[in-house]
Amino acid sequence: MHLDLTGVPVIITGAASGIGRACAVAFVAEGAMVAAIDRDAAALAGLAAELPGLVAVPADVTDETAMAAAVAHAAGELGGLAVAIACAGTSGPFGTAVDEISLADWNRVLAVNVTGQFLLVKHALPYLRRSSAASIVLMGSDSGFVAAPGMLPYNASKGAVVQLTRALSVDLAADGIRVTCVCPSIVDTPMARADLGLDSFAGVGYPVQSAEDVARSVLFLASPATRTVNGTTLVSDFGYLARSSFPA
């Protein structure tokens, strides 16, 4: 199958680590032109050294002024934008009781995971409107559908991303811009390792996917190969959500 991403200008947030980084590598391998946004400037510089031609733009996705400038700079360097991928995210308090979650922590998780995705879309929109095959892929989670205990702000934020996907697809339909969302279960990234206190997922006894697995789903949804897919989520969880509680 041809994904037809050669020469396509793509902007990716959270590209310095984990899933966003794997997406940057995967889009470059498909011949796309990639601009990478992350607040971790040092890690972003490392990625740029690895991927010649990558446009690295340090910015905090929760800062609207910075995001407006970063997206404009990326679009200028790439000669436009056809694809926007929102991977920047944070897990926030992990294992914290509801009445012990600070308002600051709650606000930070919602700001990065929801507002950050909105700001990417908002500022990429003028460029995406000029593309004939524009596509936005948001990074959700299975936590948008099921809740692991002790991750209240994260679960709430990922539920919001699922609905943000639907609402954006409706609002942007007239512009011909598709909006989809990938919802993975546990992915082996620095975020997941840190949350679970693991150096490795080897032998954990539950299914774990790689950032490259997720990047392939993102490539597929971003590409014209899925031109009929809009406003929906792709759950990649080894089938966990499909299973009934019926004891058989």
Ligand X SMILES: NC(=O)c1ccc[n+]([C@@H]2O[C@H](COP(=O)([O-])OP(=O)(O)OC[C@H]3O[C@@H](n4cnc5c(N)ncnc54)[C@H](O)[C@@H]3O)[C@@H](O)[C@H]2O)c1
Q: How many residues bind ligand X (CB under 6 A)?
A: 28
Q: Applying CB under 6 A, does 17 fall inside the site for ligand X?
A: yes
- DSSP code for 16: T
Among residues 104, 159, 161, which one has the least CA distance to residue 138? 161
Per-position x/- string for 135-164, each x denoting binding to ligand X as judged by CB under 6 A, each - no binding: ----x-x-----------------------
- Cβ nearer to ligand X, comparing 131 with 236: 236
- Cβ nearer to ligand X, comparing 1 with 202: 202
Q: Which stretch binds ligand X (CB under 6 A): 24-32, 56-64, 77-85, 169-177?
A: 56-64
Least distance from ligand X to the Cβ atom of residue 121, Å: 14
- 22 near 92, Cβ under 8 Å? no
User: Cα-flanking dihedrals φ and ψ of residue 132, to 5°?
Assistant: -85, -10
Residues 6+ apart with CB under 8 A from 71: 11, 37, 81, 120, 123, 124, 127
Active site residue 154: yes
Query: 87 to 106, contacts with ligand X by CB under 6 A?
Result: 87-90
Query: 120 to 139, contacts with ligand X by CB under 6 A?
Result: 139
Please report which helix (H) or strand (E) contains residue 24, including its range: helix 18-29
- Cβ nearer to ligand X, comparing 101 with 145: 145
State whether residue 104 is helix, strand or coil: helix
Query: 154 to 213, contacts with ligand X by CB under 6 A?
Result: 184, 186-187, 189-192
127, 154, 206, 240: the catalytic one is: 154
Query: 18 to 37, contacts with ligand X by CB under 6 A?
Result: 18-20
Among residues 3, 55, 10, which one has the least CA distance to residue 32? 10
What CA–CA distance (Å, rounded) separates 209 from 212?
8
Start-end of H helices in 79-151: 103-110, 116-128
What residue ranges bind ligand X (CB under 6 A)?
14, 16-20, 38-40, 60-62, 87-90, 112-113, 116, 139, 141, 184, 186-187, 189-192
Give the active site residues: 154
